[in-house]
Amino acid sequence: MPSLKAIRKRIGSVKNTRKITRAMKLVAAAKLRRAQDNIIAARPYAKALSSVVSELAEVAGTDAHPLFEDRKGKRTAIVAFTSDRGLAGAFNANVVKKVEAFVATELPADAEVSLRLIGRKANQYFSRRNANITSFDPAPTSATALQTAGETANRIVDDFLAKKVDRVFVVYNEFKSAISQSVVIKQVLPVVPDQASGGGARSSVDYTYEPGKEELLARLVPLFVQIGLYRAALESIAGEFGARMSAMENATKNAGEMIAKLTLQYNRARQASITKELLEIIGGAEALKG
């Protein structure tokens, strides 16, 4: 049985750990609220842009912009969002598993897959497995999400136009709630207009476009790709804070349970020590009487 000193030291260590996990939970909760606000603020703009692009594509035709071109090649690029740090449960593991499962089951066996990784955890994982990593960037923050999305969008658009890749997908944790995130994979290129946003009753209306439809598409379609990656970045940021908050809450709870068990063990050991000392005193007194 461990000594009383060792048990006291262990209890103190677990209490210090509980303080850290509780503080990390509070920090993640505060940052999560701001990340949720950013997502809510970005949704109306992204929805309106999707509607405009879809309507223009319906009127001008999908051959009006090269990013609409659906090629049947085998060169595929995947943009994966993870975090730079751990202590967030299965947040990062779910993304890399989704990427591996998608490559194994959804792509042809002879597909040429390249990775553009955003977040150190994904880079560490795939670097150890000698994957074809085209680029790596640190995980975005609320302040850098738009810049990271813009730079990544420019890279994949340039690769697509140069016919270095035929399709581009993005993989990220979609934020559902503080305790729920789901990994999604979406096609980024070629751009597929959202028929639910642009068609329907408005398709018969004829507009006069200034500048022309082709010029508008030339400006809006790359922006549409960028905003799609920006939303993925915001979802990943919020999902990370939610996963970390949940993980730290569980860690804090487990630390409390461990402290209770160690305290019980300490009390039993202390009681046994006191009982042993009493028995020794009583035994010595009886021996003196004899």
Same domain for 16 and 134? no
Same domain for 96 and 179? yes
pLDDT(202) > 50: no
The label of the residue with tokens 């969002």 reads 81
Q: How many CB atoms lie within 10 A of CB 77?
A: 25
Report the mean per-residue pLDDT for the chain.
86
- For the segment 80-99, the average pLDDT, to the nearest whole number, is 91
Q: Residue 190, preceding bond cis, omega within 30 degrees?
A: yes
Same domain for 279 and 140? no
Output the pLDDT for position 196.
54
Beta bridge partners, 280, equal none
- For the segment 282-290, the average pLDDT, to the nearest whole number, is 76
Same domain for 183 and 40? yes
> Are the beta carbons of 146 and 46 closer than 8 angstroms?
no
Burial 171-180 (b: 16+ CB within 10 A, else e): bbbbbeebee
Cα gap 250→272, rounded to integer Å: 33
Query: What's the Rg (C-alpha) of the chain?
Result: 29
36-85 per-position pLDDT tens digit: 888 888 888 888 888 888 888 777 777 778 888 888 888 999 999 999 98
Instruction: Identify the band that residue 200 occupies on the pLDDT scale cut at 50, 70 and 90.
Output: very low
Output the pLDDT for position 210.
67
Same domain for 222 and 252? no
Same domain for 206 and 122? yes
CATH of the domain at 284: 1.10.287.80
Number of domains in the chain: 2
Q: Convert the chain into a string of H (helix), E (strand) and C (coil).
A: CCCHHHHHHHHHHHHHHHHHHHHHHHHHHHHHHHHHHHHHHHHHHHHHHHHHHHHHHHHHCHHHCHHHCCCCCCEEEEEEECCCCCCCCCHHHHHHHHHHHHHHHCCCCCCEEEEEEECHHHHHHHHHCCCCEEEEECCCCCCCHHHHHHHHHHHHHHHHHCCCCCEEEEEEEEEEECCEEEEEEEEEECCCCCHHHHCHHHHHCCCCCCCCHHHHHHHHHHHHHHHHHHHHHHHHHHHHHHHHHHHHHHHHHHHHHHHHHHHHHHHHHHHHHHHHHHHHHHHHHHHHHC
Query: Which of the pair, 243 or 204, is modelled with greater confidence?
Result: 243
> Are the beta carbons of 53 and 148 closer than 8 angstroms?
no
Same domain for 240 and 256? no
- For the segment 91-102, the average pLDDT, to the nearest whole number, is 93
Beta bridge partners, 117, equal 80, 136
Tokens found for residue 10: 């262990």
Q: What's the pTM value of the predicted model, to 2 decimals?
A: 0.83
pLDDT(206) > 70: no
110-168 per-position pLDDT tens digit: 889 999 999 999 999 999 998 899 999 999 998 999 999 999 999 999 999 999 999 99
Same domain for 130 and 149? yes
CATH of the domain at 210: 3.40.1380.10
Same domain for 137 and 123? yes
Instruction: Identify the band that residue 108 occupies on the pLDDT scale cut at 50, 70 and 90.
Output: confident
Beta bridge partners, 167, equal 76
Cα gap 149→199, rounded to integer Å: 28
Same domain for 58 and 147? yes
Which of 45-54, 84-93, 240-249 shows the lowest per-residue confidence on average (mean pLDDT)? 45-54
pLDDT(201) > 50: no
Q: Which residues contact 26 (CB under 8 A, 6 or more apart)?
A: none
> Are the beta carbons of 156 and 225 closer than 8 angstroms?
yes
- For the segment 221-228, the average pLDDT, to the nearest whole number, is 90
Same domain for 111 and 184? yes
Distance of CA 279 to the CA centre of its chain: 61
- For the segment 193-210, the average pLDDT, to the nearest whole number, is 56
Which of 207-216, 219-228, 237-246, 269-278 shows the lowest per-residue confidence on average (mean pLDDT)? 207-216
11-45 per-position pLDDT tens digit: 999 999 999 999 999 999 989 988 988 888 888 88
pLDDT(199) > 60: no
Query: Which of the pair, 207 or 94, is modelled with greater confidence?
Result: 94
Same domain for 146 and 230? yes
Q: State the pairing for strand pair 180-189/133-137.
A: unpaired
- For the segment 235-253, the average pLDDT, to the nearest whole number, is 92
Burial-class residue 193 by CB neighbours within 10 Å (0-12, 13-18, 19+).
buried
- For the segment 167-173, the average pLDDT, to the nearest whole number, is 94
Query: Which of the pair, 192 or 75, is modelled with greater confidence?
Result: 75
Domain housing 16: 4-21+248-289
Output the pLDDT for position 281.
82
